[in-house]
Amino acid sequence: MTNFLQQCFNGLVSGSFYALLALGLAVIFGMLGVVNFAHGACYMLGAFGAYILLVEAGVTFWLALLIVPVVLAVFGMVLERLAIHRLRSLDPLYNFLLTFGVTLVLQDLVKREYGIQSQPYPQPRGLTGSVDLGLFSYPAYQVFVLVSSLVVCVAVWYVLTRTRVGMIVRAATERPDLTGALGINVGRWVTPVFGFGIALAGLAGVLAAPMRAVNPLMGADLVIAVFAVVVIGGLGSIFGSVVAGFGVGLLQALANLYAPTIAQTLVFLLMAIVLLWRPAGLFGREEAMA
Amino acid sequence: MIRFLASSRLRYLWLAVGLLLALALPWLVYPPIAMDIAAWALFAVSVDLLLGYVGLLSFGHAAFWGTAAYTSGLVAIHTGAPYLVGVLAGAVAAAVLAVPIGFLSVRRTGIYFAMVTLAFAQLVYFVANQWRGLTGGENGLQAVPREFFGLDLSDPFYFYYAGLPVILFGLFAAWRVVRSPFGRVLMAIRDNPARARALGYPVDRYKLLAFVLSATLAGLAGGLFAVNHGFVSLQEVYWPTSGKVVMMVVLGGIGTLWGPILGATLVVQLEDFLATSGFEGIGIVTGAVFILVVLLFRRGLWGTTSHLLTMVRDRGRPSHPAPPEPTLARELEKA
């Protein structure tokens, strides 16, 4: 029983990363219609950002948690202005291809500088021990990751549903032309939203640094799993992406317990089942049939 | 002169030039690279068949190329059959794998299709990685023989000529499909799926058939690649392979068939040049080239050239609207 609960916790922790990344992808997709292949590379940059700050400048984890997402948001906004923006009127597949190219460049730049071996990153001070959760004790850092991911997801949900900015973003997602006709400058929100999505990936990367291997390829496989997660949740649905993120993490951990051979492939098998049963995803709406 | 070159009646001249270049390739480049170029060219054409003519971007074709590579390697290792048997077995394995993956993937279009095929290819990658007993895991399949009724094909120069007919057959098959009534229906589906459906064509079945055909050609290429190298690595089923082949198609020109062949030639040569020059981080160069192509030359090299030639040829004649930029999946625009 304890083992089971512990696995559930592990699942929710890895689900935290899925959820943060899927959330960023979903926000970007909603506003820009772009599927950002470079999301995994940005997650990797987030982890490396924390590592570089620590090694080069002695900046602690807590400060990195603030600095890195901001830097990546700026990076994202520059990328959006310089490249993604130019392809927005074309088929969204072009931006998918563009961000694939960006991924190759970023990955190999980091690989060239730091090699492919994993870089060590210490657990932040204050979170090194473990927390007693009644039935079992659990590493404090993992609890922190889970809580921060939940807080971020809820905060994003709150901003999107309860504030004026969120209303504009949701309206622009739904009907950009109509929103524009109502006198709202939709274009003004595109760049910041893209930057925000990238910042979420960077935040996930910083959170991953102390508990996962910091290496140039850390985001490559993850982003493909996250693609499967958002297909399961329904790509247009922000709520769906978050729920699917935590759900997939949980199921993967349980698979680890009961059927370890399929644990790695489970997310793709789940995607296959969802495609059979609800092609639009669990929380997605049917695509308009052309 | 330029007008002469642009004449569409000169298609047969182009064909002759292409064949001549294909035959002369091992004299022009380092011989082991020649077969690589040919295999990647067929692989790229198989992806273009889907992307250019059905409007479906498969970002998971490494699954078929890699599965065929493993199958060909295993058949060659365990039975010692002539290499052709292994290569054909690889193509069949790719086709069989493409049925379930295609069936599920054609339920989505556009960007979703790309993501779903990518995810399925990753599934195949993890299976290959885990099934060490069969695939050798990270060590790969070693010592794949090149057997052909006792002929010595160990020299890559000779193996190129042994494999070339298979490649040419695959390219011819792709060309036939595109020019056939079946290919016309595919293009109709690409341009207006609703109308194709209204005319009574079972759209999803056509897409699935095209997907399986494309995977079979990719498998043919993957099998030859494996036999040429004498080993199969996990890299063949990994996502960068899927990305690389799409890169070749876009660089050469989507929907041109000749373009992907050109793109494959250039990318293989570029990577070989970078690898031998000791430059670390090949992805920095290939990725940057790809970004530039997507931003500036979306017609690709072949597409841009033929577009320019057409403009020159038509100078002084009543102008007609320029052909639209190639659309990846026109369905999404209308959705």
pLDDT in tens, A18-43: 999 999 998 898 888 889 999 999 99
> DSSP H helical segments within A209-265, as ranges?
220-233, 238-258
User: With an 8 Å Cβ cutoff, are B288 and A87 in contact?
Assistant: no
**ipTM exceeding the 0.85 mark:** yes
In this complex, the residue of A83, A96, A265 whose CB is nearest that of residue B291 is A83
Cα B117 to Cα B94: distance, rounded to the nearest angstrom: 14
Angle formed by the axes of helices B11-28 and B156-179, to 10°?
Answer: 160
- Interface check for A238 against chain B (CB to CB < 8 A): the answer is no
A 59-98 residues with CB below 8 A of B?
83, 86-87, 90-94, 96-98
Residue B212: its pLDDT value, please?
A: 97
Q: What pLDDT is stored for residue B331 in this prediction?
A: 39
Pairing relationship of beta strands A130-132 and A137-139 according to DSSP bridges:
antiparallel
Question: Closest approach of chain B CAs to the CA of A185, in angstroms?
Answer: 22
CATH code (residue B60): 1.10.3470
- Asked whether B194 and B333 are in contact (CB, 8 A), the reply is no
pTM, two decimals, is 0.90
Segment B88-98 shows an average pLDDT of 96
Q: Compute the average pLDDT of residues B10-32.
A: 84
CB atoms within 10 A of CB B154: 10
Cβ of residue B123 closer than 8 Å to a chain A Cβ: yes
Q: HEC profile for B72-129?
A: HHHHHHHHCCCHHHHHHHHHHHHHHHHHHHHHHHCCCCHHHHHHHHHHHHHHHHHHHH
Average pLDDT on B11-26 reads: 85
Window 132-191 of B, Cβ < 8 Å to A: none
Residue B280 belongs to what domain range?
2-334
Number of domains in chain B: 1
- Domains, chain A: 2-277 (1.10.3470)
- Could A96 and B111 be called an inter-chain contact, meaning their C-beta atoms sit closer than 8 Å? yes
pLDDT score of A289: 34
pLDDT score of A286:
57
* Spans in chain A with pLDDT lower than 50: 287-290
> How far B328 CA sits from the closest chain A CA (Å)?
6
The predicted structure's pLDDT at residue A129: 81
**Token pair belonging to A285:** 């709406």
Q: Which range has the worst mean pLDDT, B62-76, B106-120, B284-298, B305-319? A: B305-319
Taking the CA atoms of residue B47, residue B283, residue B122 and residue A248 in that order, the dihedral angle to the nearest 10 degrees is -130
